[in-house]
């Protein structure tokens, strides 16, 4: 039985490129119409490739609805030059991650693993692009630091990422040590200088 795959959130060029890659595999069936705003309607795909850039349009509302439906696996498609874009979809418990620059073979492999319910070795936390890689931040530390840079308090970060407050505090201490800062203001400054996306207040300034 073919694995049904849809592409969501991407522009025409990226969408058609992914369709071409997916269409090469005889065990995959590509849906060329998929209403992301209504993930419960019509035929449900086994896997949705979600372009991380789409989260900027609606602050992730459609992505959250898709993940919360729990009827399909969601694989985030990210870009090496914009690693920050993959952080929030990953934090919202997407099934896996694959780079847009990955080979066709790797993209197909990730899709098959996600369809099988494993996505082994390609979890978002472990395989999001290497934002903070120069100081060896872990995936979780990157996501926590990203939310700090965006202006969220520790308790808000815990809720957004579905982790305990103690885990947030542990990640904060470890990240601060690695980036060589001692205060939140210094951490925000470091993050903005190293490619982390700013919050609205920082952007306005």
Q: How far is CA 72 from the centre of its chain?
A: 16
Asked if domains 3-127 and 133-204 share a fold, the reply is no
- pLDDT, residue 5, reads 93
What does the pLDDT look like over 106-121, one tens digit per residue?
999 999 988 887 553 3
What is the rounded distance in angstroms from the CA atom of residue 155 to the CA atom of residue 148? Answer: 11
pLDDT in tens, the chain (205 residues): 789 999 988 889 999 999 999 999 999 999 987 766 555 556 678 899 988 888 777 777 777 777 776 678 888 888 765 666 666 666 666 788 888 888 999 999 999 988 887 553 355 655 555 677 778 888 889 889 989 999 999 999 999 888 999 999 999 999 999 999 999 999 999 988 887 877 755 544 4
- pLDDT, residue 84, reads 60
Q: Which residue from 65, 55, 8 is spatially nearest to 31, judged by alpha carbons?
A: 8
Let me know: does 122 contact 113? Beta carbons within 8 Å: yes
Q: Which CATH number fits domain 133-204: 3.40.630.40, 1.10.10.10, 3.60.21.10, 3.40.640.10?
A: 1.10.10.10
What would be the CATH architecture of the domain defined by 3-127?
3-Layer(aba) Sandwich (3.40)
Let me know: does 161 contact 167? Beta carbons within 8 Å: no
Let me know: does 102 contact 166? Beta carbons within 8 Å: no
- State pTM to two decimals: 0.60
Domain locations in the chain?
3-127, 133-204
């Amino acid at each position: 039985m073919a694995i049904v795959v849809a592409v969501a959130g991407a522009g025409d060029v990226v969408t058609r490129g992914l369709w071409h890659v997916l269409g090469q595999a005889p065990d995959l069936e590509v849906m060329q119409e998929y209403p992301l705003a209504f993930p419960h309607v019509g035929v449900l795909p086994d896997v949705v490739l979600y372009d991380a850039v789409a989260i900027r349009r609606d602050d992730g509302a459609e992505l959250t609805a898709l993940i919360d439906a729990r009827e399909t696996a969601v694989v985030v498609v990210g870009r090496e030059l914009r690693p920050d874009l993959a952080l929030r979809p990953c934090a919202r418990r997407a099934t896996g991650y694959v780079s847009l620059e990955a080979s066709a073979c790797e993209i197909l492999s990730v899709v098959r693993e996600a369809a099988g319910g494993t996505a082994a070795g390609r979890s978002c936390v472990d395989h999001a692009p290497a934002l903070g890689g120069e100081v060896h931040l872990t995936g979780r530390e990157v996501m926590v630091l990203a939310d700090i840079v965006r202006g969220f308090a520790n308790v808000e970060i815990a809720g957004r990422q579905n982790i305990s407050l103690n885990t947030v505090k542990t990640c904060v201490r470890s990240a601060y040590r690695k980036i060589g800062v001692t205060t939140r203001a210094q951490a925000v400054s470091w993050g903005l200088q190293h490619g982390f996306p700013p919050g609205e207040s920082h952007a306005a300034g």
